A = this chain, B = another copy of it.
Amino acid sequence: MRTHTDYLWFHTQKRQEFVRITDDVRQIVQASGVRDGMALVSAMHITAGVYVNDWESGLIEDFQVWLEQLAPAGLDYRHHQTGEDNADAHLKRTIMGHQVMVPITNGDLDLGPWEQIFYAEFDGRRRKRVIVKVMGVA
């Protein structure tokens, strides 16, 4: 059995930004030598998420508009009494999820035809990490 760990770093220009990371995850999986198993891809910061969905710019905008409706920025959140202003980012990332497990078969990501892995930043403009932990057999 084999394990392999790597980290992806992000420093987005905008506060909210969705970044496709399928190829980055694939590279780490291939470097791991694992031919059959799973990779955990998990945001290490609590105002960012990781999710699987379509690589289509219109849908990505739909997600962002929708999240703004479900968890609006700028409300009078209790969390802001600490000096923070990002409570909505914590809520938005909860809707999207903060991690995915990616199956690995024959040395590659075993994804459906339209599945793409995304990093969803909701409070960016600073350095943040995603862990990729691969586990399986060579």
Residues of A within 8 A of B (CB): 1, 3, 5, 36-38, 40, 42-46, 51-54, 56-59, 61-63, 66, 70-71, 77-82, 87, 90-91, 94-101, 103, 105, 110-115, 129, 131, 133, 135-137
* CB of A33 to closest CB in B, whole Å: 14
Bound-state Cα–Cα, A52 to B63, Å: 21
CB–CB A44/B115 < 8 A: yes
Interface centre among A5, A66, A82 (most CB of B within 10 A): A66
Instruction: Assess the A78–B62 pair: CB atoms within 8 A.
Output: yes
Cα of A71 to Cα of B59 in the assembled complex, Å: 13
Asked whether B44 lies within 8 Å of A111 as measured between CB atoms, the reply is yes
Q: In this complex, which of A43, A46, A81, A97 has the most chain B Cβ atoms within 10 angstroms of its Cβ?
A: A46
Contacts A/B (CB < 8 Å), 28 sampled: A1-B137, A5-B36, A5-B110, A37-B135, A38-B40, A38-B133, A40-B101, A42-B101, A43-B112, A44-B113, A45-B114, A45-B115, A46-B114, A52-B98, A54-B79, A54-B90, A56-B79, A58-B80, A58-B82, A58-B87, A59-B78, A59-B90, A62-B77, A63-B90, A66-B91, A94-B96, A99-B101, A112-B129
